[in-house]
Every structure is written in C-alpha cells, then in structure tokens.
Structure 1
Amino acid sequence: MSPLPPLSRREREVMDLVYELGNASAARIRENMADPPTYSAVRSTLRILIEKGHLVSERDGRRYLYSPRTPAVRARRSAMRHVLRTFFGGSVAGAVAMLLELREGNLTQEDQARITEMIEQAAREGR
C-alpha cells in the first residue's frame, strides 16, 4: 500500500478532529476548530482530504458525514512511529521516559501492572 499524500497544517487539524469526533459533519468539524475558517473553506478542505485518500464520506439526509479511511489504531501506530523517529531517535525508552516525566495523570497501580506485563511480554517475545 502506497503512503498517502502529506497534509497541510489545516488538513492535519481537520483529520485530528475527524479522528476525535468519529463520523462528523462539516459543521461539527468547524465548531470544534480552534480558529475556524469559513464553512466553505472547511468543505473545501474535506474535499481535498477525500481526493488525497485520507477521508471517506457518506450521505446522511441532507448532509455528509466524514470519517477517516485509515482505522484509528493504524493511524496511531503510524503517528507514534513518526514521533519516535523525529523526537526520540527511535528510542522507545526515551519516549516512555518522557511520558512518565509528563505525569499528566496519576499512574494507577492497575496502569503500572499493565505496563509491567507488557514489558515482560515484549521481553519474552524478544521485542
């Protein structure tokens, strides 16, 4: 499968919102944008994203609903690979250390146990 064309800043913002909202109309996407352009500009961006292969649309009455062509899990994996290469030189340990340093939420005992189990399983599998 060939890679999809790259996204502009505005296209990335729209894609992030579509992933966050799930199926979303142009109006709903626009409502959730930090500094929304005109409704026509949002519709134009959505059309471009369909042409680039990032989105699909389906008719829902008088409006269209837009959803990502790539499943969220695959998009997350791709985004994380990009972050690892770009900001951590491919170091998983560096990325995990940064996440722990951020502490944007308390790490519960359940979270700690789950993370420990994932590390142990990866070690057993030689990853």
Structure 2
Amino acid sequence: MEKKRKRELAAREQQIMDVLYQLEKASVAEVREKLTDPPSYSAVRTMIGQLERKGFVHRDRSGVKHIYSPVKSKRTASRSALRSVMETFFPKSPGNALAALIDDSAKTLTEEDLDRLEQAIKRARKEGR
C-alpha cells in the first residue's frame, strides 16, 4: 500500500481545516463544537497538533487558551491541492485536466461560470503567447 504523503489530509483533518477556514481562528473547544459527530476534546487537540506539525495550522500561545488558525488562506490551499491533483493525474497536461473538469461539470456550469472560464482562456492566450 502506498504511504500517505505528509501534506495529504485525512478526512477528519480536512473537516478541522474547513472549520478553521470558516472561523479564521479558534480554540480546540470551538473547533470541536463545529464538527459533525465530534470526537473527544483530546482527539481534536491531537489532530490539530498533527496539523500544526504538518504545517497547516499556526498556534497562538499568547493568551490563556491556545488559538489555532490556518497557515495559508483557503484560496492558496485549494490552489495548491488542485496543482497536486493535476500533477498526479494529468502530468504536464493542464489542458486535459481542465477539459475533464468541464466535461464532468457541464450540466452544472452557470453562464457566469462559463463567462469566467472564457475570460481566463483569453488571459491565458494573451499572457502565454
């Protein structure tokens, strides 16, 4: 079985990150309160500690409670994750990755989505060549 890379998140770790993105900063208790079917306080504390060691979470120790916040913005993190998926499944072929996303999403794309894609393609043509 392939070993998980250090930067990949388990499902519960991703849920914790989603809560931290939503709240921007939070204590262990505040994170636990927002989780669906939350594990024990100590389990949440342990997982947040793992996220800190992996470089996803920053801990502020200035107050009585430790307050945690994401190291990167959600936008930066999501772009990094997308890049990783593209490199894994579509190496050196971003066009194929984008085409697959569009094909799979065709029925749910709004006119606004299509306009945004069209503008991105125009920018890429200008800047890329």
Asked if Structure 1 and Structure 2 have the same fold, meaning a TM-score greater than 0.5 normalized by the shorter chain, the answer is yes
Q: Deviation at 1:60?
A: 9.2
Could you say what the CA RMSD is over the residues aligned between the two structures, in angstroms?
Answer: 3.0
**What is the number of equivalent residue pairs in this alignment?**
123
Structure 2 SS opposite 1:67: strand
Q: Deviation at 1:33?
A: 3.7
Structure 1 residues 27, 82: CA separation in 2 closer, same or farther (over 3 Å shift)?
same
**Deviation sequence 1:65-117 (CA, Å, 0-9, x none):** 32111233322221111010112234222222232233387323232222111
**Does 2:2 match 1:6?**
no
Structure 1 residues 108, 36: CA separation in 2 closer, same or farther (over 3 Å shift)?
same
Runs (5+) with no aligned partner, structure 2: 1-5
- The one-letter amino acid paired with 1:15 is M
Q: Matched residues in 2 for 1:36 and 1:72: separation?
A: 22
Structure 2 SS opposite 1:37: coil
Runs (5+) with no aligned partner, structure 1: none
Partner in structure 2 of residue 114 of structure 1: 116
Structure 1 SS opposite 2:67: strand
**Deviation sequence 1:13-54 (CA, Å, 0-9, x none):** 433442344323323332444553211011122223334432
**Does 2:25 match 1:26?**
no
